[in-house]
Chains A and B, each alone.
Chain A
């Protein structure tokens, strides 16, 4: 699947958003689970809420679904207000559907009955229901299990039933709460693509909750990274990785080195070396004062002899530690006369010994200021 760098759908700023969360706050007792959250989701978009456990992802999703009323703020669906602190449209009137972490397949109904449930409530006639159920079960490759009971199904099959049950009603928004966390690794990888495929095939608007970053990367147009009840950054996966805006995002999405520096107008001084300020992408760098830069392990190159500097910056240093991970080397290096230690990833063929003197090549355009 090709991963769009920026979502063309998200660019249509003038169009009506499918979902608009406006300064949503949710307080349980004295604990603020979600705080002043803004989120705009366009029709057809696939958005992930990504964050560590307890950061408020489920709470946000459940507010969208209507199971929880926000303490403050409003939620609009296609321009119509559905949630506010005063009142909340009950879930059954929102025309959404949701896939739960536990799947919540009803064990007292067959697969067919499970899938047909929402259609019956929408008052379709029998023939149409049968046809739609068959069609959707074909899509998820479960047509042969239509008369089985859920207890007789494997975890992966149950997951597909949950998917089928949710999509057969053509929801205005499809909500998924860590739908893959109960599956084994292989199946999880397969289902990621399956979910994205269905999203594209049926042109859904999808909100996907997960704490697994690769899952979010593979599936989403944009990812909202959450931390402690707030959204830290919303961006396309590629941008999120290459242009993290906060310290949290930089270290949560992939691994990174956080390096402190001080701008004094012309240069940025680090512990043990300096770099000219002019070679950085300057928009986020302060004119003067302290700054924090995220340096990805992959963006640093190690050399045995001093390389040609070019646009990059070359610093002498020492190899401190190493670990061989099979697909790559994990080195820890320290610039000379510096307390800074950098983690650097290198391909298996680039072998260095601990204690060796080496040269580090830093790309200033891949050193991203974060707050």
Chain B
């Protein structure tokens, strides 16, 4: 009797939340794993899907290419990111603000959009760079973007910000006293960088590299616009091809499993690296920061940063801008070629209006669903309301190790067929996005909750407020900033998400990212560029709102 009276109604909420997690995270992945071991028609256990997936030379090449691709991108990203982060954190290089802002620009650029900018720049014949090269009488093409090198460069230009964020953060925290100590002992400034500074921030570089690697091998958009025309097979493209007629979902599942295993292993390595304290003697605030005077190297260093900025942002966006305001981008700069029609088309046609509307409503809805779910689960875990908190955390963070395209395959397999038959609905997209970005929301909500003293809430309880009252009146208002921040951090990537969407959209539920891909296939770069600018404009607006609300570092920070 007393048991019943003391039953908290709010426990119903977490039971439901747990069920939703099972529905969103466990079901698709379990289905994927199980189907990879099942014979198509009979359903008996088999390994033949794996044999099938990896016995074909082309598919094997896709696997190997992806690994080369990932390593290459990490390598190039490090070359871009480490000198820049050192220059910004540690030296008196001029123009730091500009460089920082441009890196943020690269960070918020959807990688496929940057890649398309580079098609305009370095397409084998028509690309601006190659045309310029031919104009000054250079032999052949200077740089063909449709190649492994092109793919690597174009991807690295938009993923180096990750390594930059990690390294700059670590450099900020390494006390300069460590370097000064070496200096007193007679070590030259150049050797100090390599003997003291770099080893100290090595774990941070490594952590950033792992993220970049995982991001790269899971990437779909950039390979789709660059590797496909280059006839270069890549794992994610291969996965996509399994779904062309005849659909071979089981083989796709088997093909995807090693990708997940690699990811799990790498995340494990990252945990290990970041978890080993001792090694990282990054002790608190490095008081009395002394900037390294670069002397005559000031401007060359700035030149390097500017070059990277130009490759990542200035050049591709110049090319995209030219296209966006042209009747035909190949006709170059002239008044006859100038038009606003590309933008006009976006908003005059019902179909593209619908697509824009879809994109932002889905992303907004995803933000709300993901943040609400993340908040509930983070609360339950943080306040130890259930004994299996670790499991819930693991479930919320699990989508991190599942590439978007693989997640989409699982979603498709579970929720497309009856009885749910969600295929073609907006709901399946929102749910797919929610699952994909749940880790971001969860990590943010958790950080917010951890910074909130539980006594704040207990004070409300002891005065007679139920848990629900305490959460509504105390926890939510105090976490307002955290929640808005989480929403933004989910909304932004959701608005440009491609790899999940590509599997789950239908004619009625198309979104901007998918439309950009289609336009790129048709070669309609003018409308595409206009659409890209519109998407970026909205993103920048939202980032600015975030800055105003949450402070400068809300996006470019380690989390």
B463's contact among A90, A102, A107, A118, by CB below 8 Å, is which? A118
A95 and B464 within 8 A (CB): yes
Residue ID in chain A nearest B469 by CB atoms: A121
Docked Cα-Cα span, A100 to B465, in Å, equals 16
Chain A residues near B455 (CB, 8 Å)?
A: 100-102, 104
From the candidates A81, A93, A98, A106, name the one contacting B456 in the complex (CB within 8 A). A106
On whether the beta carbons of A104 and B3 are closer than 8 Å, the reply is no
Do residues B463 and A169 form an inter-chain contact, with CB atoms below 8 A? yes
CB distance from B483 to the nearest CB of A (A): 13
Q: Which residue of B lies closest to A84 (CB)?
A: B2
Q: How far, in Å, is B309 (CB) from chain A's closest CB?
A: 41
Check B462–A106 contact: CB distance below 8 A. no
Cα distance A67–B460 when bound, in Å? 12
Given A102-B453, A108-B478, A121-B469, does the pair A90, B461 have CB atoms closer than 8 Å? yes
- Taking A90-B466, A92-B466, A121-B469 as contacts, is the C-beta distance between A104 and B459 under 8 angstroms? yes
Closest to A114 in B: B459
A106 with B466, Cβ < 8 A, contacts A87-B6, A88-B6 known = no
State whether B464 touches A169 (Cβ < 8 A).
yes
A117 at the interface (CB under 8 A from B): yes
- Flag if A118 contacts B2 (CB, 8 Å): no
Tell me, rounded to whole Å, the shortest Cβ–Cβ distance linking A60 to chain B: 15
Asked if A122 and B464 sit within 8 Å, CB to CB, the answer is: yes
Q: Across the interface, which residues of A come within 8 angstroms of B453, CB to CB?
A: 102, 104
Q: Is the interface of B mostly helix, strand, loop or mixed?
A: helix
B400 to chain A, nearest CB (A): 29
Residues from chain A with a CB closer than 8 A to the CB of B462 are 65-66, 91-92, 94, 96-98, 175
Are B458 and A98 closer than 8 Å at their CB atoms?
A: yes
- Could you say which residues of chain B place their CB within 8 Å of the CB of A175? 462
Give the residues from 75 to 123 in chain B that come closer than 8 angstroms, CB to CB, to chain A. Answer: none
Residues of B within 8 A of A101 (CB): 455
Distance in angstroms from B179 CB to nearest chain A CB is 38
Shortest CB–CB separation between residue A218 and chain B, in angstroms? 25
By a CB distance below 8 angstroms, the chain A residues around B464 are 92-93, 95, 118, 121-122, 169
Check: B199 CB closer than 8 A to any chain A CB.
no
CB-defined contacts of A169 to chain B, threshold 8 Å: 463-464
Out of A65, A66, A67, A87, which one reaches B3, CB within 8 Å? A87
Q: Closest residue of chain A to B474, judged by CB?
A: A106
User: Which residues of chain A in 65-103 are interfacial with respect to chain B, using CB atoms and an 8 Å cutoff?
Assistant: 65-67, 81, 86-98, 100-102
Would you call A91 and B458 a contact (CB within 8 A)? yes
Q: Is B8 an interface residue (CB 8 A)?
A: yes
Number of A-B pairs, beta carbon distance below 8 Å: 77
Chain B residues contacting A94 (CB-CB under 8 Å) are 462
A165–B6 touching, CB < 8 Å? no
Beta-carbon contact of A67 and B465 below 8 Å: no
Q: Which residue of A lies closest to B458 (CB)?
A: A67
- The reply to whether B463 and A121 contact each other, CB–CB distance below 8 Å, is yes
Q: How far is the CA of A102 from the CA of B453 in the complex (A)?
A: 8
Docked complex Cα distance between A102 and B457 (Å): 12
- Asked if B2 and A100 make an inter-chain contact with CB atoms under 8 angstroms apart, the answer reads no
User: Which residue of the partner chain A has the closest CB to B466?
Assistant: A92
A90 to B2 Cα, complex, angstroms = 11
Contacting residues, chain B, for A106 (C-beta < 8 A): 456, 459-460, 474, 477-478
**A86 adjacent to B458 (CB under 8 Å):** no
Q: Give residues of chain A (30-64) contacting chain B, Cβ–Cβ below 8 Å.
A: none
B479 to chain A, nearest CB (A): 10
Residues of B within 8 A of A87 (CB): 2-3, 6
Q: Which residue of B lies closest to A67 (CB)?
A: B458
Question: Hey, which chain B residues are within 8 Å of A122, CB to CB?
Answer: 464
CB distance from B274 to the nearest CB of A (A): 27
B453's closest neighbor in chain A, by CB?
Answer: A102
A95 to B5 alpha-carbon distance, docked (Å): 16
Can you sample 29 A-B contacts with CB below 8 Å?
A: A65-B462, A67-B461, A81-B2, A87-B2, A88-B6, A89-B2, A89-B6, A90-B8, A90-B461, A92-B463, A92-B466, A92-B469, A95-B464, A100-B458, A101-B455, A104-B455, A104-B456, A106-B456, A106-B460, A106-B474, A106-B477, A108-B474, A117-B473, A118-B463, A118-B464, A121-B464, A121-B465, A121-B469, A169-B464
Residues of chain A at the chain B interface (Cβ within 8 Å): 65-67, 81, 86-98, 100-102, 104, 106-108, 117-118, 121-122, 165-166, 169, 175
Q: Which B residues contact A (CB, under 8 angstroms)?
A: 2-3, 5-6, 8, 453, 455-456, 458-467, 469, 473-474, 477-478
* Other A-B pairs beyond A108-B474, A118-B463, 5, CB < 8 Å: A87-B3, A90-B467, A101-B455, A121-B465, A165-B463
